[in-house]
Structure 1
Amino acid sequence: MTVETTSIDTLVVGAGQAGVAMSEHLSRLGVPHLVLERARIAEQWRTGRWDSLVANGPAWHDRFPNLEFADFDPNAFASKEQIADYFVAYANKLEAPIRTGVEVKKVVRNAGRPGFTIETSAGLFEADRVVVATGPFQRPVIPPIAPRDSSLTQLHSAAYRNPDQLPAGGVLVVGAGSSGVQIADELQRAGKRVYLSVGAHDRPPRAYRGRDFCWWLGVLGEWDAEVMKPGREHVTIAVSGARGGHMVDFRRLANQGITLVGLTKSIDNGVVAFEADLSDNIRRGDENYLSLLDAADAYAARNGLDLPEEPEARVIPADPECVTHPLRDLDLAQAGVTSIVWATGYAVDFGWLKVDAFDENGKPKHQRGVSKEPGIYFLGLPWLSRRGSAFIWGVWHDAKHIADHIVTQRKYLAYYDGPAGNTQSRRDEGPSNPQSVSSFVEVH
C-alpha cells in the first residue's frame, strides 16, 4: 500500500499565537507554508487555563500590530475566550493555511536529500523547513516532593478551573507567580482557607503615574533586554489583570486572609516544611517594585514628561503576622487542608522532534530561533531573542526575524538548484527570475 506524501516548502507546527504570527510573515513574504494544529486555533487559551483567567497586560499591548480587539476598551484586560477569538479572527483575516485536528507525531531529517519527513495523524508530509511553534507551556511540572497521598486532591494550575472543582477544606497553593497568586486570591474569595507558598518573584506595579507597567517596561527598554540577568532563571513575575487589573501586594493578600508561607521544601507524612525565606522573598519583591518606580521617575524627569507624581506608591505597609512569625511547617490534616494546587510552571517536550537541535539537557540550541539544525526553527519560547519573546507582541517580532531568515535561505537554494540558468527551487515554488549573487548580499 502506497502512502501519499504531501510536500510543502515550510511546515509550521502549532496554531497558537506563535503559529498564527509565523503564518502572517510567511504569507507576506510569499513563502508557501502550512500550519498544523492538533486541536483548535489557540486551544490552550480556551482549555488549558482556569475559567476566570484574563490577560495580564492591557488590550492595547497584548495583541499583534495589525489588528485591535474588536469592540473592546484598549485599557481593559481581555478574557481567555476573547484572546482565543482574537487569534481565530486574525487567522481568518490572513486566510492563514491552517489545518486543525492534525497532530504531529514525528519529524526526522531526510537521508541523502534535503528536507524533513513529518509523520502526522493525517498522513506524511515533507517540508524543506519546519517551524516549531508549540510554545513553552507543553508539559505541566509537579515537583517530586508532591506526596503520594490519596486523601489529598492535587492538581497542577493547568488543570485548575474554578473553586467548585476542589473538595471542602483548605488549600495550599505552591507558587507565587501570576498564576499562583490569582488562583490563591480566587480561592480565598470563594471562602477557602488558603496557604500561599511564596518563592522569589518580581513585583511590578500594575500602573504608576498614570501608565501601565507594560508601557514603563517598554520605554525603559526592559522588554527588549536580550540577556537574562544571572540568577534570575526561576524568578516569576507577580502581576494580575483580574478584576480590572491590580498590583499584586502580598501583604494585602495576607490581610485579606491568605496565610503566606516560604518556599515549599518537603512534604513528609502529611507535614509540609517551608524554607525560612518568606521575609527575604517579600523584601526582594519590594526592592524590584521600588527599583521600577525609581527608573520610571528618572525617565519622566529626563524626558520632561508631564505625568502626575505618585508618592503614595512608595508607602510599604507593615508586615503581617504570617511574615514576621512565619510557619516553618504545616500539618495538612490538622490544618484542614484537603487540596494542593501546584502553580509550578511547565517544561517543554520535544520528544517528537528527532533532529540534532538540542543540547545535552534537551533544550533547543538556537540563535534567535534559528536552530543549530539547518531548516529547524523555534518560536514562542521565553527569551528566544529578548525578554518579551513569550508575549503576544514579542512572538510577532520574533516570527518576522525567522521568516526573513527563511526567505534568505530560499533565495540561496533557488540560485544554486538545477542546471545553469534554471533557478527554480526544488519544490518549484522559488523565485521565477534568476537571482544574482549581489541580491543575496542585500538581504543580510
Structure 2
Amino acid sequence: MSDKYNEWENGGLVTLDEHSRAKYDVLGTYVERYLEILCRRYGMTSFKITLVDGFAGGGLYQAGEPGSPLILLQAVESAEAKINHFREKKMTVDAHYYFIEKRIKTFAILNSVLQQSRYKDEIGKTIFLKNGLFEDYVDTIVEDVKKRNPRGGGRVIFFLDQTGHSQVYPQTVRDIVKKIPKAEFIITISIDWLVDFISDKRPLFEKNVQKLGLVQYLNIEEIIRIKTEKQADWRYIIEAKLSVAWQKATGAHYFRPFFIEPEYSRRGYWLLHLSPHPTAHDAMTDIHWEKGNYFRHYGGGRGVDIFGYKPQPNNELNGISFSEAFQQSNMERLMEELPRLIWKHPDGVIFDKLLDMIRNVKAVNNSTVEKTLLKIREEKGIEISGEKGGKKRSKKLSGKDFLIIPRQKTLI
C-alpha cells in the first residue's frame, strides 16, 4: 500500500494489483446488495445513506480502473437502476459521500479525478472532499448524519482501507456505533505487520496491542508461546485470537473476518466486516462465497466452530479455500452439530434464533445451513413445523419455522 501512495504523491497513477481489485469488487458488490435489500419495499420513494471512505487515495488507477470513491458512486447508481427497473413509481437513493485523504498531492489527484467525472456537479452538495486524517473528521461526519436523520436510524457504511494495522482504532468504531447504532464498517487490516512483532520484537507487539485497545481481550503470553513454539501457522493465531479481540473491543454484534492473500505472496490482509444487523452480515457472507477465489479462512474449524484448531501432522495450517469441498465438509460437520444445538432447547427453537446463535462462528452461508437442516429432517433427526403449527414438508424454510428433536430421539 505504501508504494501506491508513493506513486500518487509523485503525481502519477498507480497500477491496480489483484488483491486490491478483489477488495474493490467486494466493496461495490456489497453496497449494491445492501441497497437492494433495504430498498425492496415497493412503496418506498427515498432512502438516505451516508458512505464514508476514510482513506480514499487518488481515485483512479493507471489503466483507468476506478478507485474506491468511484466504486462507491457507481455502486449507488447501479443499485438505484436495479431497484427502479420494474417500478412505475421510482425511488431515489439519497446518498451523501465523504472522501477523506490525508496526503496533499494524492488528495489533489482525487479532486482532479472527481472534477473531471460526471459527478463533478455534486461536489460540495452530496460529495464532500476532506484533506486530512480520518480521525479528524469523524465527529463532523457523525453530526452531519444525525442532522440528516433527526429521528435517528441513520444508515452509514464506513470503508476504512488503512495502510498497516494501526490507523483505525477499535475504540473509534465503538464511539461511532454509540452515536449511530446502524453504522457498519468494512476495514482492511495488514495483519502481517502486527504479527511480525510477536516473537522477535515483543515490546513493539505489546505496544501496538495496547495502542489498539486490545490488551484486555488477549492473552499475550499465550499468543507469543504459540508463535515461538510453532504450535500453529501464524494466520490461525491472527484470525482466531485477534479477530475475536477486535469484535469485543469494538462492541460490534456481528463480525466477519476473511483473509485476502495476494497471488504471488503470502503476505495479505484482513477484510473485516462489522455490522449491527444480521441481514447485512448474511449478505457479506454470501458475497465471500460468490467471490471465493479471493479469500481464505485460517483456522481448522468447520461447522459452528470456525475458529477451532486441531493440529496437523506438521503443526501448521495452510488455510481453507471457499470451495465445494469446504462446503461439503461443513455440511457433514453441521449434520452432527445442529441436532446437538437444537437438543439443548427441549421445547424447540425457531430457525431465525438458531441462525443467530451460530452467525459469528460459521463460515457457511444460511442457504447451506438450510440445506443441512432439510437433510437432517429427511433422516428423521429433527422435526420442522410452520409458524402456525403442523409439520412442514416443503423444501424451503422461513425464519419463524420451528425446529425440535423428535420425542423418541430425546428419550434415547
Mark yes or no: TM-score above 0.5: no
TM-score normalised according to structure 1 size: 0.21
From the two aligned structures, give the one with the greater helix fraction. Answer: 2
TM-score normalised according to structure 2 size: 0.23
Larger RCO (alpha carbons 8 Å, 6+ apart): 1
From the two aligned structures, give the one with the greater strand fraction. Answer: 1
